[in-house]
Chain A
């Protein structure tokens, strides 16, 4: 049980995918202008990450490993992830057109979110079990959501603040992200 707990804490705080492992920076910078958008993105990513983590585990265990096709791992993961993202997009579009509108281009972008592929590949490297894989994916998504929402709240305030002209926009956002990363370093050694 404590293993599971450590997986969650580890992925959310200690080895945060965005701020410590620097995966998934693209949506982190792209979708963090408004808190509302980032919440939608966080939700979609959580869903996709958990699902793709599970499905890539299944593909690994029941397709690639028995047939000795480990060398096809990356490409087949990409195919699986792309399918999951497509599925999510259709579902979101149907169930919540507003969220779909809010996510816009960023939803398909999850396909190229390196955190998603990263989680799947790390699962194999760490030889996680099924439950561990699911938790690992979920934890990674939680960590991603946490920093995305925190970061977007900060950016909302920075957007109206009197930032020196040369630092306005992306530069100050990157500096802020860097400071957040430094702060997350403080969790190192926690678990």
Chain B
């Protein structure tokens, strides 16, 4: 009986020491996962997930502090991609964070009403609004991510979110109607 305890204890101690040494030897710095998660996020920087931008949200996901279903702009496809990357179960989008909207929008400033307060410039996460104090502002269309963060600060409600019109260059073929299986 004693032999068994000693032998087994010895075995456990040896393996424990080996594992301990290995954990020191193979210590990993940094987390490459954040980069991968960040690459999947839509980069609207809208903050709807509750984090100040896409990267902080990616860090939160990697640190398991956030669920993968908090990104409305990414939509269902984004959640599926995250679920695949992380090996987690896909979840439906958390309604607390907003609703997924398939229609892409851009902010447009009504330049007649703009009073030049610069509040929207400060709110824009990607510096897509140009203008100066007391001067009219305008949105750089190609840089706008449609995050809507500039809408609430505007004191005169001169910013509208306008759906992006399909042009010939952004037009897509529709999938054929699927045959019965």
Q: Is the CB of B181 within 8 A of A162?
A: yes
Interface residues of A in 84-143 (CB under 8 A from B): 86-87, 90-91, 93-94, 97-98, 101, 104-105
Q: Is the CB of B4 within 8 A of A101?
A: no
Interface residues of B in 129-154 (CB under 8 A from A): none
Chain B residues within 8 Å of A44, by CB: none
Whose C-beta in chain B lies nearest to the C-beta of A97?
B32
Q: Is the CB of B15 within 8 A of A79?
A: yes
Residue B175 interfacial (CB < 8 Å) = no
Q: Is the CB of B19 within 8 A of A87?
A: yes
Complex CA gap A105/B85 in Å reads 12
Q: Is the CB of B28 within 8 A of A164?
A: no
Chain A residues within 8 Å of B12, by CB: 79
Residue A80 interfacial (CB < 8 Å) = yes
Q: Is the CB of B15 within 8 A of A63?
A: no
- Chain B at the A interface: SS class: helix
B89 CB → nearest A CB, Å = 11
Chain A residues within 8 Å of B36, by CB: 101
Whose C-beta in chain B lies nearest to the C-beta of A164?
B181
Residue B23 interfacial (CB < 8 Å) = yes
Q: Indicate which residue in A64, A72, A86 contacts B19 across the interface (CB closer than 8 Å).
A: A86
Complex CA gap A116/B23 in Å reads 23
Complex CA gap A87/B18 in Å reads 8
- Chain A at the B interface: SS class: helix
Residue B87 interfacial (CB < 8 Å) = yes
Chain A residues within 8 Å of B26, by CB: 90-91, 93-94
Whose C-beta in chain B lies nearest to the C-beta of A82?
B15
B68 CB → nearest A CB, Å = 14
Residue A59 interfacial (CB < 8 Å) = yes
Q: Is the CB of A91 within 8 A of B11?
A: no
A109 CB → nearest B CB, Å = 11
Complex CA gap A98/B181 in Å reads 38
Complex CA gap A80/B12 in Å reads 9
Q: Indicate which residue in B4, B11, B28 contacts A79 across the interface (CB closer than 8 Å).
A: B11
B166 CB → nearest A CB, Å = 28
Interface residues of B in 19-51 (CB under 8 A from A): 19, 22-23, 25-28, 32-33, 36
Complex CA gap A79/B10 in Å reads 12
A65 CB → nearest B CB, Å = 11
**10 A-B pairs closest in CB distance:** A162-B181, A94-B26, A104-B87, A83-B15, A90-B26, A97-B32, A90-B22, A67-B3, A69-B4, A87-B22
A-B contact pairs, 14 of them (CB 8 A): A64-B7, A69-B7, A75-B8, A76-B11, A79-B11, A79-B15, A87-B18, A90-B22, A90-B25, A90-B26, A98-B32, A101-B36, A104-B86, A162-B181
